[in-house]
Amino acid sequence: DAGVTQSPTHLIKTRGQQVTLRCSPKSGHDTVSWYQQALGQGPQFIFQYYEEEERQRGNFPDRFSGHQFPNYSSELNVNALLLGDSALYLCASSLDSRGAYEQYFGPGTRLTVT
Amino acid sequence: QKEVEQDPGPLSVPEGAIVSLNCTYSNSAFQYFMWYRQYSRKGPELLMYTYSSGNKEDGRFTAQVDKSSKYISLFIRDSQPSDSATYLCAMSHGLSGAGSYQLTFGKGTKLSVIP
């Protein structure tokens, strides 16, 4: 059973550019959450998608947007990249009914903004 | 004050020692408490979760929650070099009807188990 997968593994972008990160949830999961983890910090919640809609958002600007597809996979888009956006971006999947305590993370995409 | 506080360490112990990892929190609405293990350059791996107060044991790992003190702990018995990783505590409201379960994490404690 494949776990949560993310692509790409690493990405280097320039300030002002736009980036799209992708996530495939664990088989059978219907909910996808995105987190940003800066070096030496715990993950911070960006937003959560369920039934192809964003249903909760953390304290992140509108430059961060996302999408969920009918097969439950998801994308995270970041526009007008800033140096401070350099981080590990993590996708977590869950069953909606168990999302309060069973979120499974992918390996992450390491984004470097120069 | 951050919602979840966790001593970042680093914590270094000899193989076979008992390890105690702790977090404190300020938001009394948290109902679910999780511990994740994160190896270098990997995603967090769910170790165990606890609902409300009490203890939960899984092999060499024991999680404790004291909601009256807003304090949670993870104990690792007979620690092994393979336990060397960063341990993250996480919490959620799990509000029924809200439908969304945002996790709030501590900064993580870096643990090294020395052979």
- Give the minimum alpha-carbon distance from B14 to chain A in angstroms, rounded to a whole number: 24
- Give the pLDDT of residue A1: 66
- Give the pLDDT of residue B100: 57
* CA dist., res. A112 & res. A19, Å (int): 11
Tell me, yes or no, if B39 comes closer than 8 A to chain A by beta carbon: no
Tell me the CA distances in angstroms from B18 to B50, B75, B112, one per residue in order.
20, 7, 12
pLDDT in tens, B25-74: 999 889 999 999 999 989 999 999 998 888 999 999 999 999 999 999 99
Cβ-defined contact of A108 to B34 (cutoff 8 Å) = no
Q: Is B91:B104 a contact under the CB 8 Å cutoff?
A: yes
| Selected residues 56-95 of chain A with any CB under 8 Å from a CB in chain B | 56, 58, 90, 92, 94
Residue ranges of chain A with per-residue pLDDT less than 70: 1
Q: What percent of chain B has pLDDT over 70?
A: 95
- Give the pLDDT of residue A67: 97
**φ, ψ at B82 (rounded to 5°):** -70, -10
Local confidence band at B96 (pLDDT 50, 70, 90 cut-offs): low
Of B88, B94, B105, the CB nearest to A101: B94
- Give the pLDDT of residue B94: 76
Mean pLDDT along residues B84-97: 86
Q: Please list the helix, strand and coil fractions of chain B in percent, rounded to the nearest 5, in that order.
A: 5, 55, 45
pLDDT in tens, B36-46: 999 998 999 99
Q: Which amino acid is at A4?
A: V
**Contacts A30 to B, Cβ<8 Å:** none
In the sheet with B54-58, reading across from the earlier edge strand, the strands are B4-6, B19-25, B71-76, B61-66, B54-58
- Give the pLDDT of residue B2: 79
Kindly tell me if the per-residue pLDDT of B17 is higher than 70: yes
Local confidence band at B92 (pLDDT 50, 70, 90 cut-offs): very high
Of A41, A99, A104, the CB nearest to B107: A41
